[in-house]
């Protein structure tokens, strides 16, 4: 029997007086390309941060790869994070390293015995396979938004992750780059057997490439859409409105 990657049991999270998530119970299974959608400010990003232990829930229990987060020691957690990688919305490249060093950095740190030229060759291969066309020696602040996004995805892929948590991969990108990122998602998902959990506003890509959509609204898990490729309409008018507007914007 498969264990879920993440399972939330009655999880609530507050910031001050503001409730962000309330009584969430959900399982996310391996091998799926799950999209998390909803209006801004409903706690989608908080959901991801909670799942990887960057924040602690106020109530409830979270299991990551079958192990409860509350019982996990920090060293165990960082061992698990190597296989479960979070890609932030902001590309968060290390601004003291060049593009190629940024991509090679995690692998070199985890395996200090590896030969740097070999790692950098591998990094170049990964970057090229993602369709990166810039030079490898430039600093992150000279990259365009799209390039920085590709570099941050490449950096995560260097570690051969089992699961990727991606926060808004297509935000602020033009349509061509968006399709490129969608292709990357599908390819990594299919080729490398890597599950992806994506927070996104991009309804079109969610409906075309997603395996499952979790729709959050007003601190709650509002709808769970299985098989979005066959999605036509939903009993809930709110969900319908969201998806109809989303196809235009």
**Which stretches of the chain bind another protein, using CB under 8 A?**
37-41, 52, 54, 78-83, 85-90, 92-95, 106, 109-110, 112, 144-146, 152, 155-156, 159, 168, 171-178, 201, 203, 241-243, 245-249
Cα 225 to Cα 45: distance, rounded to the nearest angstrom: 19
Between 34 and 167, CB nearer to another protein: 167
Please state the closest distance from residue 1 (CB atom) to another protein, in A.
27
Contact 163, 194 (CB under 8 A): yes
Between 8 and 243, CB nearer to another protein: 243
Between 138 and 245, CB nearer to another protein: 245
Cα 211 to Cα 206: distance, rounded to the nearest angstrom: 8
Between 47 and 86, CB nearer to another protein: 86
Between 10 and 240, CB nearer to another protein: 240
Please state the closest distance from residue 168 (CB atom) to another protein, in A.
7
Mode of pairing for the β-strands spanning 84-87 and 67-68: unpaired
Please state the closest distance from residue 63 (CB atom) to another protein, in A.
18
Rg of the chain on CA atoms, in Å: 18
Please state the closest distance from residue 8 (CB atom) to another protein, in A.
19
Contact 137, 98 (CB under 8 A): yes
**DSSP code per residue over 55-99:** S--SEEEEEETTEEGGG--HHHHHHHHTTEEEE-SS----TTS-H
């Amino acid at each position: 029997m498969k264990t879920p990657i993440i399972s939330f049991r009655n999880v609530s999270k507050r910031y001050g007086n503001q409730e962000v998530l309330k009584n969430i119970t959900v399982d996310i299974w391996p091998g799926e390309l799950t999209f998390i959608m909803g209006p801004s400010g409903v706690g989608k990003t908080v959901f991801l941060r909670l799942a990887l232990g960057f924040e602690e829930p106020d109530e409830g229990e979270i299991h990551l790869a079958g192990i409860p987060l509350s019982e996990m020691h920090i060293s165990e957690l960082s061992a698990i994070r190597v296989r479960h990688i979070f890609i932030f919305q902001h590309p968060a490249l290390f601004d003291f390293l060049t593009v190629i060093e940024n991509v090679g950095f995690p692998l070199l740190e985890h395996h200090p015995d590896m030969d740097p030229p070999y790692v950098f060759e591998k990094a170049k291969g990964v970057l090229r396979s993602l369709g990166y066309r810039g030079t490898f020696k430039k600093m992150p602040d000279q990259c365009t938004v799209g390039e920085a996004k590709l570099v941050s995805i490449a950096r995560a892929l260097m570690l051969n992750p089992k699961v990727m948590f991606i926060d808004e991969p297509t935000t602020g990108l033009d349509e061509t780059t968006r399709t490129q990122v969608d292709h990357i998602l599908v390819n990594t998902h299919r080729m490398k057997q890597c599950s992806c959990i994506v927070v996104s506003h991009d309804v079109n890509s969610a409906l075309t490439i997603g395996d499952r959509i979790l729709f959050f609204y007003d601190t709650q898990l509002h709808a769970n859409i299985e098989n979005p490729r066959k999605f036509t309409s939903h009993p809930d008018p709110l969900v319908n409105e969201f998806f109809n507007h989303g196809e235009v914007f």
